[in-house]
Amino acid sequence: MNTAVKSQTSSWHDYIQPAYDDNGKPNFLNSHGEVLEGIYTDMPNEVYHALDAHSSTGIKTFAKGRHHYYRQYLSNICRLRTKQQEFTFDAGTYGHMLVLEPHNFHGNYMRNPVPEDFPDIELIDSIPQLKDALASRGLPVSGAKAVLIERLYESDPTLPIFEKLRENMICEFLDQRYKNYLRTDVELDDMAKFYGIDVSLNREAKINAILEISPTQPIWEKLIATHVIDHIVWDDAFRVQKSTRAHPKADWLLSDGYPELSIIARCPKTGLLLKIRFDWLRNDAIAVDLKTTLSTNPTKFGYQVRDLRYDLQQVFYCYVANLAGVPVNVFAFVATEYKDADNCETFELSQRKVEESKEDLFQYLEEFNEALTTGNWYGHDKSRSTWVIDV
């Protein structure tokens, strides 16, 4: 680890350090850019996932079959989500943030306004309403809804046109966070010219071309996708927070500790550099994993543990934490459902299952190391023989 040699009287808390120093230099990298073992707070999620170390997700993928790991991590086949989808998260993601790091949620996101949010205003929203308002002013009533809105707005900007009210609210929110962002076609064209992009492209293609060159460029559509949350998703996320905090044991588990704590350690058996990121690690070294799930029914959640290999995740996390000197021996799952009902339950794996999963983990680590060394990513049978099946 990139810390002082541990003394017998020191606590694991003494070796926790921020991911970045006061000058913004990463504490988790050495002067050659190599990943350093350690325990880190406040490491951005995207930075953690980019670390050159192996995670429980990779080991769980390998457990499905070597060919699965190869496809996802080593092949050049890309079946990732589109850029628009990358900016869109679900209620589970935002619910996690509200429970674990509410300070990173509030002020960074807004609920997308809907007409029901204006009960005291007689809004102009539907196409018939827009056409009636235009006709009463002697204006043309032909065209798509967006055209009707712009035509009516130009005639009287004070009218309660819902889309314009919504747009103004979003602008006010974004203006507090960004000094400049590209919104109008003229602004996009100017930026396209600056980057040598064909200005005759349609708006979407132009935006994609700009983002390919400058991924951090603030653009209206991108900012809406990253900061403005669908009202249903927003409400779901807050119910996740409410249900989780309403459960006494869950609320206790998710207190007195560290959110999103990242740990990097090297496996002495294989030499592999491993990484974990606890949803929550209490000061008493109890680890907590928050899961948003379709059902908190114990039987159904048990199936989910089996199918998604949460057991393998647990023993992997405990192993890496122990390597780093963190004495995690209690691991709890906090499961919260929100789609068909609002409820939270807490779960722990039986000792029998934990011991069984430990055996699996060490076997997978050895096989995984062998596959990385030999480059042999065969399917379900190393000998590549013919399977004889009796259906």
Calpha distance 29→45 (Å, rounded): 16
Q: What are phi and psi of 189, to 5 degrees?
A: -65, -40
DSSP state of 75: S
Domains of the chain by start residue, with CATH: 12-76+247-374 (3.90.320.10), 107-230 (no CATH)
* Pairing of β 273-282 and β 286-292: antiparallel
pLDDT in tens, the chain (391 residues): 444 344 445 799 999 999 999 999 999 999 999 999 999 999 999 999 999 999 999 999 999 999 999 999 998 876 554 434 333 468 999 999 999 999 999 999 999 999 999 999 999 999 999 999 999 999 999 999 999 999 999 999 999 999 999 999 999 999 999 988 999 999 999 999 999 999 999 999 999 999 999 999 999 999 999 999 999 999 999 999 999 999 999 999 999 999 999 999 999 999 999 999 999 999 999 999 999 999 999 999 999 999 999 999 999 999 999 999 999 999 999 999 999 999 999 999 999 999 999 999 999 999 999 999 999 999 888 888 899 999 8
For helices 56-64 and 351-374, give the axis angle rounded to 10 degrees: 80
pLDDT (0 to 100) of residue 263? 98
Angle at 321 between CA 315 and CA 326, to 5 degrees: 130
Contact 318, 287 (CB under 8 A): yes
Q: What is the pTM of this model?
A: 0.86
Contact 51, 15 (CB under 8 A): no
Calpha distance 135→316 (Å, rounded): 67
Q: Tokens in use for 58?
A: 């990779």
Angle at 121 between CA 115 and CA 125, to 5 degrees: 45
- Write out the DSSP string of 285-317: SEEEEEEE-S---HHHHHHHHHHHTHHHHHHHH
One-letter amino acid for residue 270 of the chain? T
What residues are paired with 266 via a beta bridge? 273
Calpha distance 141→130 (Å, rounded): 8
Q: What are the angstrom distances between the C-alpha of 172 and each of 105, 110, 175?
A: 18, 11, 5
Question: Please, is 242 exposed, middle or buried when counting C-beta atoms within 10 Å of its C-beta (0-12, 13-18, 19+)?
Answer: middle
One-letter amino acid for residue 105 of the chain? F
Contact 125, 115 (CB under 8 A): yes
Pick from 282, 303, 304: nearest CA to 291: 304
pLDDT (0 to 100) of residue 31? 93
Residue 165, classed as helix, strand or coil, is helix
Q: Tokens in use for 32?
A: 């050659």
Q: Which residues contact 337 (CB under 8 A, 6 or more apart)?
A: 243, 292, 293, 294, 295, 296, 343, 344
Calpha distance 271→219 (Å, rounded): 44
Q: Tokens in use for 2?
A: 């990139």
